[in-house]
Amino acid sequence: MLVNGRPALLLPVNDRGLQYGDGLFETLRIRQGRPAHWQRHLERLREGCRRLGFEMPDAVVLETEARLIAAEYPEGILKLMVTRGSGPRGYRPPVAPSPTRILTGSPVPDTPPGWRRDGVQVRICRMRLSSNPALAGIKHLNRLEQVLARSEWDDEHQEGLMLDGEHRVVEGTMSNLFLIRDGALLTPWLDRCGVAGITRGRIMDIAAAMGVACTQTRIGPQDLFRADGLLLCNTLIGIWPVRCLEGRPLPVPDLVRELQRRLENPDQ
C-alpha cells in the first residue's frame, strides 16, 4: 500500500475520505506488470475530481506509483483512491485541499470458471439506489447502498441487481448490466445514479465495431425476463452471462460468447 507515494498502512483520522467518503476510486486489472486501460480509468478519475471540485493529482505521479504496485502484482488488482485530503471538522471543504493518494495491490480472487462459461445466479435487491445526477456515473467513495444490498444474501447468488427509487433497473452491486434483445444490446441509462464502468464503455465500443446496435434506455424489472439474455460486466470479472434470475432460467446467446472473446483483446 502506498499513501502519498510512501509505504504505509495508516491514514490520518481527519482525512475527508474516511470522515465523509469525500473522494473517488478506480479498480484496475494489472496484466503483464501494467495497469490495463490506464487512460480510460484516468479520464473517469479526472471527471470525478472535476465534479467533486478538487484538483486531481498529477497524472505522471499516479502512473509512477501505479507501476510500483504493478511490479509487485504483475497479474493482480490495483485499487487507486483519491480523497480531498485532511481538513478541519465539518462538511465545508477546505479552501485549498491537498488530495490524498492511496494505491493498493492484491491478487486476483479465484472464481469458478463455470461462472464465466455457464453463467451466474442473480437476484433483485431490496435496497434501492438514490438518484443524484451530480454524482451519477462517477466512482465516488460512498458505497453504503452497495454494502447494504450485498448483505442481503450469502453465497446462493453471485450478484444482485439494484433498482432506483422509481423501480428502474440501474446496475449490479459491483457490475454493469446489458440486456440482449433481437440481436441488439440494451443497457440502463446512468444519468441519475450508478457507475459508468470502464468495461461497460469497452463493450459499447466493441458492439459499435461489430455493427451491433447498443442503446441506453430505461429498463424495468419486467424487461429483464423478456430479454433473450443478460450479461454482467466489470473490470475484474470481464463478462458473466446470467443463467438464472430470481430462480428463473435464462439462455446464454451466442452474442455473449463473441463479446467475451473480443473483450479479451487488450487493445479493445
Residue 111 is a catalytic residue: no
Residue carrying the nine cell digits 475520505? 17
CA atoms of 76 and 108, how far apart (whole Å): 5
Residue 139 is a catalytic residue: yes
- Catalytic option among 100, 139, 187, 235: 139
Buried b (16+ CB within 10 A) or exposed e, 103-113: bebeeeeeeee
CA atoms of 151 and 118, how far apart (whole Å): 25
In degrees, to the nearest 5, what angle opens at C-alpha 79 toward C-alphas 172 and 48?
70
Residue carrying the nine cell digits 484496475? 28
Asked if residue 225 lies in contact with residue 181, where contact means CB atoms within 8 angstroms, the answer is no
- Catalytic option among 26, 171, 199, 235: 171
Residue 27 is a catalytic residue: yes
Query: Among all residues, which ones are annotated catalytic?
Result: 27, 139, 171
